[in-house]
Chains A and B, each alone.
Chain A
Amino acid sequence: RKEVEQDPGPFNVPEGATVAFNCTYSNSASQSFFWYRQDCRKEPKLLMSVYSSGNEDGRFTAQLNRASQYISLLIRDSKLSDSATYLCVVNPHPGRRALTFGSGTRLQVQP
C-alpha cells in the first residue's frame, strides 16, 4: 500500500465550479500535512499547510480527518489558472526531516 494515495483524475470542471480532492495516508503517526501545486513541467510549490482544525486561504479550504486518515482540498469558484496537479504531502516519520508526496490529482478547469 502506498503511504499517500490520491485519485489521479483528471478532474475536468467548468470555470466557477467547486471541486474537492481527497487523499489518504497510511501512517497514523504522521503529524504534518500539506497540499502542493505543480504546474505542467514545473517544480512543485507549497499551496497550503493542513491543520487539525481545518484552514482556509481565499478560495482554498483544507481539512484533516485523523480518525479516517484522510486530507481534503476544496477549491471554490475555480479559475482557469487553477489548472494544475495537486500533490498531497505528508510527513510520516516525524523524527525524520523528509516528506512523502502523493502522485497527484490533475485538475483541468475549462472555459
Chain B
Amino acid sequence: NAGVTQTPKFRVLKTGQSMTLLCAQDMNHEYMYWYRQDPGMGLRLIHYSVGEGTTAKGEVPDGYNVSRLKKQNFLLGLESAAPSQTSVYFCASTGTFLSYEQYFGPGTRLTVT
C-alpha cells in the first residue's frame, strides 16, 4: 500500500514549456486535491475532485488544468509555465464524506526559469 504518490519529484522547466504532474492513490479515495506551497503562504488549493470525472476550481486555479479520468489518478497540467508557478506542489486525497483527514503525497518541486 503506497498511499499517495507523485511523479515527478523534481522538475525544471523553461518559461512557456508545458508539463503534467501525476498523482496516484491506492486507497480507493473519492476526493483528491492539488495544492501549491510557497514560502510564507501556506498551502493553497489549486483544483480538487470529488469523484471520477469531476473537477472543481480551488483558490488559485489560473494557469492550471486538471483531469480525473480514473478514480485513482489526478493529473495537474501546466500549459505554458511561468516563473510565478515555481513552487512545491502537493497532491492529497480523502476517503469518505465524513472524513477530513487528507493524506498527502511527497510533493513535486518545480522550478520555472
Main SS at interface, chain B: strand
* CB-CB contacts below 8 Å: B1-39 with A: 31, 33, 35
The answer for the CA separation of A8 and B102 in the assembled complex, in Å, is: 22
Q: A-contacting residues of B (Cβ < 8 Å)?
A: 31, 33, 35, 40-45, 48, 50, 58, 90, 94, 97, 100-102, 104-107
Are B102 and A99 in contact, CB atoms less than 8 angstroms apart? yes
A45 contacts B by Cβ under 8 Å:
yes
Are B50 and A44 in contact, CB atoms less than 8 angstroms apart? no
Closest 5 CB pairs of A and B: A103-B42, A43-B104, A101-B43, A101-B42, A46-B101
Are B43 and A97 in contact, CB atoms less than 8 angstroms apart? no
Are B102 and A46 in contact, CB atoms less than 8 angstroms apart? yes
Nearest-neighbor residue (CB-CB) of B3 within chain A:
A43
Are A8 and B40 in contact, CB atoms less than 8 angstroms apart? yes
Chain A residues whose CB sits within 8 angstroms of the CB of B106 once the complex forms: 42-43
The answer for the CA separation of A104 and B48 in the assembled complex, in Å, is: 22
The answer for the CA separation of A34 and B43 in the assembled complex, in Å, is: 14
Contacts A97-B31, A98-B45, A102-B42 known; A45 to B50 CB distance under 8 Å?
A: no
**Nearest-Cβ distance from residue A88 to partner chain B, whole angstroms:** 9
**Nearest-Cβ distance from residue A89 to partner chain B, whole angstroms:** 8
Contacts A97-B31, A98-B58 known; A45 to B42 CB distance under 8 Å?
A: no
Are A44 and B90 in contact, CB atoms less than 8 angstroms apart? yes
**Nearest-Cβ distance from residue B106 to partner chain A, whole angstroms:** 6
Chain B residues whose CB sits within 8 angstroms of the CB of A104 once the complex forms: 42
* CB-CB contacts below 8 Å: A13-70 with B: 32, 34, 41-46, 49
Chain B residues whose CB sits within 8 angstroms of the CB of A43 once the complex forms: 90, 104-107
Chain A residues whose CB sits within 8 angstroms of the CB of B44 once the complex forms: 101
Chain A residues whose CB sits within 8 angstroms of the CB of B107 once the complex forms: 41-43
Chain A residues whose CB sits within 8 angstroms of the CB of B48 once the complex forms: 97-98
Nearest-neighbor residue (CB-CB) of B100 within chain A:
A32
CB-CB contacts of A64-93 with B at 8 A, as 1s and 0s?
000000000000000000000001000100
Nearest-neighbor residue (CB-CB) of A103 within chain B:
B42
Chain A residues whose CB sits within 8 angstroms of the CB of B33 once the complex forms: 98
